[in-house]
Copies of this chain bind each other. A is one copy, B any other.
Amino acid sequence: MLLPFPQIKAIVGDENLLTSPEELYCYSFDASKMRFVPEGVAFPAEAAQVSALVKLANEYSFAVYPRGSGSGMVGACLAQGGLVIVTNRLNRILEIDADNMTAVLEPGVITGEFQKAAAKCGLFYPPDPASLPFSTMGGNVATCAGGPRAVKYGVTRDYLLGLEMVLPTGEIIRTGTRTMKGVVGYDLTRLMAGSEGTLGIFTKIIVRLIPAPESVRTLTAVFSNLDCAANAICEILRDRIIPSTMELMDQATIGAVENHLRIGLPVEAEALVLIEVDGPGILLDGQVERIVGICKKAGASKTEVAQCDAERDRLWQARRSISPALGRIRPGKINEDVTVPRTRIPELIRSIRTLAEKYDLPIVCFGHAGDGNIHTNIMLDRKDEGERRRAGKAVEELFGIVLGLEGTLSGEHGIGIAKSPFIELEVGPGGLDAMRRIKQALDPLNIMNPGKMFVPDRTFLDGSFA
């Protein structure tokens, strides 16, 4: 249907509604490389406008698609027609309460900017998705974003205390508390974390903060054998050190990055591990010493400890260069973010090597070894139909392997459109039905971000990735 543009303009103002094909095109994609063009894009400035837009959608039966910065990996914010509601004008940090260590902010606040504002108060908001320089807090809550620090600090839901939100029926409700404790009714707040814009549009977010860590130390360890690296990682945790980061690069990744940077990375090694510890300065030298000892004992051929910020940057350089480096192997990739209990990582990576051989496609693994979240990049030329088909099969087989290892299909990216054909594999028919019933209960007309999560439309599978 055609959107009721006059009514939408009456709510947000002429200047806050996009309708031209050129403008709409800019809101037709996210980081998944899928493309769907909306009919309109609205930029409300306050909760009352969001509510009015959603009530209008109920009245006129059009779909609304909440959107932040569009940095999601699975198409969860893409609009198959309908009205995109961008929350980026709600972008104020309303309060940082240093004494109670909480903050209240609007959904359009950029996560990295919020972290800087918190740091000025000596406080720390740990969740660190790679997109944090441009992704929004609203998007981070909607996807329950996480990053390298999850091993020690958890993910977005672990800091989320409360929300103000517009339900799919248009009512504005407040959920949660400003306190660590709160058990009044169902936990709608945590239900919303990771709900991918299908259950409501956030208009305020309350999070808790923690004291900023005093110091950080960074080191790397090179292993000729992957199992030795995995053992070292477990041994560090067994020694009751919880690093704030433990990033693993497999041999294919090391090779790709070296090919890109030419900085003398150990291309013969099966694993390069980047480790950071943070906390009181007085503890860290001892922890670094123990970690180096554990790595050497586990078979590390080389360890290197950063002695200054410049060295720290150098050690991070390889990890940070993975994404640009991968383009050199193949023009396209399918980027999965499977997660397994960390002791199962060697089994996972060995199985992935077998998959790569079976389907004759390079598969590059790197990611967050501490929490078992391994970014698995199947490299392909998307113009090659055979490669596309083989890659699709490799993904399906990968998911079976991951579930067999007691893992999950997605640690960070979520379901959206891209993984909706597979959700039932993990949650089962009963679990999926329970989710569908909740969706229907809160969004009886299915107007909020329809076509996501519960729609196993396999037609997106072949063409959408690249």
Across the interface, A174 reaches (CB within 8 A) one of B158, B180, B415, B428, namely: B428
Closest 9 pairs (CB-CB, A-B): A181-B411, A190-B190, A441-B441, A211-B240, A171-B430, A437-B441, A173-B430, A100-B341, A182-B408
A388 in contact (CB, < 8 A): no
A407 in contact (CB, < 8 A): yes
Number of copies: 2
Q: Give the shortest distance, in Å, between A129 (CB) and chain B (any CB).
A: 11
Partner-binding segment picked from A131-139, A144-152, A349-357:
A144-152
Across the interface, A154 reaches (CB within 8 A) one of B180, B413, B423, namely: B180
Which B residues are in CB contact (< 8 Å) with A178? 341, 406-407
Cross-chain contact A190 with B430 (CB below 8 angstroms): no
Q: Give the shortest distance, in Å, between A73 (CB) and chain B (any CB).
A: 11
A-B contact pairs, 27 of them (CB 8 A): A99-B237, A150-B180, A154-B180, A158-B158, A171-B430, A171-B433, A173-B430, A175-B427, A175-B431, A177-B339, A177-B408, A179-B411, A181-B371, A183-B415, A184-B408, A184-B409, A185-B194, A185-B431, A186-B191, A186-B195, A187-B191, A188-B431, A190-B190, A211-B240, A211-B242, A282-B283, A438-B442
Which B residues are in CB contact (< 8 Å) with A179? 339-341, 371-373, 407-408, 411
State in angstroms the CA–CA spacing of A171 and B438 once bound together.
Answer: 16
Across the interface, A187 reaches (CB within 8 A) one of B144, B339, B343, namely: B144
Cross-chain contact A190 with B188 (CB below 8 angstroms): no
A299 in contact (CB, < 8 A): no
A155 in contact (CB, < 8 A): yes
Contacts known (A99-B237, A188-B434); A427 close to B173, Cβ less than 8 A: yes
Which B residues are in CB contact (< 8 Å) with A158? 158
Which B residues are in CB contact (< 8 Å) with A172? 430
Across the interface, A184 reaches (CB within 8 A) one of B180, B181, B410, B434, namely: B410
State in angstroms the CA–CA spacing of A154 and B183 once bound together.
Answer: 13
Cross-chain contact B181 with A238 (CB below 8 angstroms): no
Q: Give the shortest distance, in Å, between A197 (CB) and chain B (any CB).
A: 12
A453 in contact (CB, < 8 A): yes
Which B residues are in CB contact (< 8 Å) with A413? 183
In A325-354, which residues have CB < 8 Å from any B CB?
Answer: 339-343
